[in-house]
Structure 1
Amino acid sequence: MSEVTDFIALDVETANADFGSICSIGLVHFRAGEVFKSLTILVDPEDDFDPVNIGIHGIRPEDVAGKPTMARVFPVISAALQDTAIVHHSPFDRTALTRAAGKYGTGGLPCTWLDSLQVARRTWTGFRDDGGYGLANLARAFGIQFKHHDAAEDARAAGLVLLRAMSDGGVTLQQWVDELGYESTATSKPLRRTKPSYATKCAQSGAATGPLAGETILFTGALQIHRAEAARAAAAAGCDVVDSISRKVTILVVGDQDLRFTRGQEKSSKHRKAEEMITRGHAMRIVGETDFMAMVSG
């Protein structure tokens, strides 16, 4: 890439806890430090909608009926994002697009990604103990008005947070891309199938740096990799790992088969408790094991 001065902020919403179930994409083009244009794309995820997700973003199956699938959307946005800096807040949006690309065999987006959450953590030290680095808390602190969980609105807020960080920290977009940027990928390492373990205590502190630094993670359900191995991977990526559900938890990782009610099985108590906390406004994401592995393997 040549010198990076402009960027596109991006956010996605999903129909359920499977990151590949994208139902909305928001794209906001920033040019010369200002919003140039904005676009929202509704997507048919070809998947079920979970009431928890509907409660978060308000998108229902009838809203996406007849809309294009990601198989059609990817070629369009791929051309628009060629050799572009894409700003996203947290690894979830990049991981969702990676999962959707794998689902439809379309390949990754030809761009460089920059996580505004990581930029914020390196720019301002005070938010870790003052509400955290979630988009809503940062926007509130900086007077950014937006409608949370509307994809284009979230993307715009992420871009404005980045601009504020560039101003406060005196760091250019190119410098942030050089330090934290990474290329898109549509592949992830295969899961290693081992006997699931439920009893292992996994609590440990995360590394000071890493793509998930500052997050607190909890595992529940039957994982295909050993729980202790998953915990080590999370800690290496920067997560603090805990063994019980609380308001400190920002990521709950569940077995892929436990993302929905299937074959009469019920979600774990931790899973149900997390959904209750989310509906009450707690900033937590429920992540399937495959998505978790994509996040920590980068």
Structure 2
Amino acid sequence: MPSETAPSVVPTADDPPPDFVVVDVETACPRVSSICQIGIVGFRGGAEVFSYEMLVDPHDAFSPFNIRIHGISADHVAGKPSFAHIHPTVDAHLSGRITVAHSNFDKGALAAACRVHDRTPIRTTWLDSVRVAQRAWPDLPSHRLNVLTKYLGIRHKHHDALSDARAAGLVVVRAIEHTGIDLAGWLAPFAARGGTAPKAAKDGPLKGERIAILGGPRDGPLARQLAGAGARVLSSVGLTTTMLVVSNEQPYGRFYHAAPAYRRAEELRRAGSSLAILTEAEIAHRLETR
């Protein structure tokens, strides 16, 4: 059952600004624009300073799969505001600040909701807490949020937007404490790691393939291997993607099927695309046998 926490008052100009804010959303169906719950938490000096949570009417269908994940159904959002109505509040919390999200799913969902509801994009500096956790605790077998909170002893109700946002924020706080790297330090590597994908070789066994990588950087070893075999390495799964390769570095563990890129690839396949989904081991074997 989703929480019914009342939304907080938007901090005023007289309040000290947070060091960073954290956002998490739940969606009603595979369309990432179908936000049905949003949670935002502000942190300053390593402590929570405000929180905001709202159930949202996505004006979209609820899929049984998504309902099983978060427990939110159409009945829960009846009479709740749409994303268009809460956009000014969300924008006030996030715009011009550092915004943490656990993976890029929430970033993509907010961008899609802004497009669908004809609202201005939210301008913020994003920090992925998955990548923070990967660097802070590289030996963990998975960096999914529920795995991290169990490891770090953080109280957490998985797939509740407010609890997920709070937990992701505490992961960043603990990573700062654990490594001694401050917030600016965590931002710098990711700006540099955005990386340019290697240029596809003129010929090779993957010539003509347009490949997205789930969980690996666009300029990493896997990307270089694929480009060296003639493939064009893409930044995301789209209509022209011919293959999704699941990297050994992906942070979802055995639950990688829930990753946004994987779900998007499956959605395209159901719509008739011939897009192939392979693991890093499978693509390596294919290259060895060609």
Using the size of structure 2 for normalisation, the TM-score is 0.67
User: Who is 2:256 aligned against?
Assistant: 249
Which one-letter code corresponds to 1:227 in the other structure? T
| Distance in 1, Cα, partners of 2:188 & 2:127 | 10
Which one-letter code corresponds to 2:239 in the other structure? Q
Q: Does 1:77 align with 2:98?
A: no
Alpha-carbon contact 2:18-2:43 (below 8 Å) kept: no
User: Who is 1:27 aligned against?
Assistant: 40
Which one-letter code corresponds to 2:97 in the other structure? T
Alpha-carbon contact 2:211-2:241 (below 8 Å) kept: no
Alpha-carbon contact 2:98-2:127 (below 8 Å) kept: yes
> How far does the alpha carbon of each residue in 1:13-71 deviate from its partner, in whole angstroms, 9 at most, with x for none?
00011101000000111121111122111111000001111111111111111111111
Higher relative contact order (CA 8 A, sep 6+): 1
Larger deviation, residues 108-117 vs 247-256: 247-256
Change in 2 beyond 3 A, CA 1:226/1:134: closer
User: Who is 1:108 aligned against?
Assistant: 121
Alpha-carbon contact 1:9-1:88 (below 8 Å) kept: yes
Change in 2 beyond 3 A, CA 1:212/1:147: farther
User: Who is 2:106 aligned against?
Assistant: 93
Q: Select 2:159's aligned residue among 149, 162, 175.
A: 149
Q: Select 2:184's aligned residue among 159, 174, 179.
A: 174
Alpha-carbon contact 1:71-1:104 (below 8 Å) kept: yes
User: Who is 1:227 aligned against?
Assistant: 242
User: Who is 2:172 aligned against?
Assistant: 162
User: Who is 2:7 aligned against?
Assistant: none
Mapping 1:1-298, distance limit 5 Å: 6-127=19-140, 130=141, 132-180=142-190, 209-210=217-218, 224-228=239-243, 231=244, 239=247, 247=254, 249-250=256-257, 251=259, 252=262, 253-256=265-268, 258=270
- Structure 2: stretches of 5+ with no match in the other structure: 1-16, 193-207, 223-237, 277-290
The CA RMSD over aligned residues, in Å, is 3.6
User: Who is 1:217 aligned against?
Assistant: none
Bigger CA radius of gyration = 2
Alpha-carbon contact 1:203-1:240 (below 8 Å) kept: no
Alpha-carbon contact 1:13-1:23 (below 8 Å) kept: yes
Aligned residues: percent identity? 36
Change in 2 beyond 3 A, CA 1:258/1:80: same
Q: State the 1:107 CA deviation.
A: 2.2
Change in 2 beyond 3 A, CA 1:248/1:5: closer
Q: State the 1:201 CA deviation.
A: 10
Alpha-carbon contact 1:119-1:165 (below 8 Å) kept: yes
Q: State the 1:247 CA deviation.
A: 3.6
Alpha-carbon contact 1:5-1:174 (below 8 Å) kept: no
| Distance in 1, Cα, partners of 2:211 & 2:109 | 27
> How far does the alpha carbon of each residue in 1:135-172 deviate from its partner, in whole angstroms, 9 at most, with x for none?
00011111111111000000000000011111111110
Matched residues, number: 222
User: Who is 2:234 aligned against?
Assistant: none
Q: State the 1:209 CA deviation.
A: 3.1
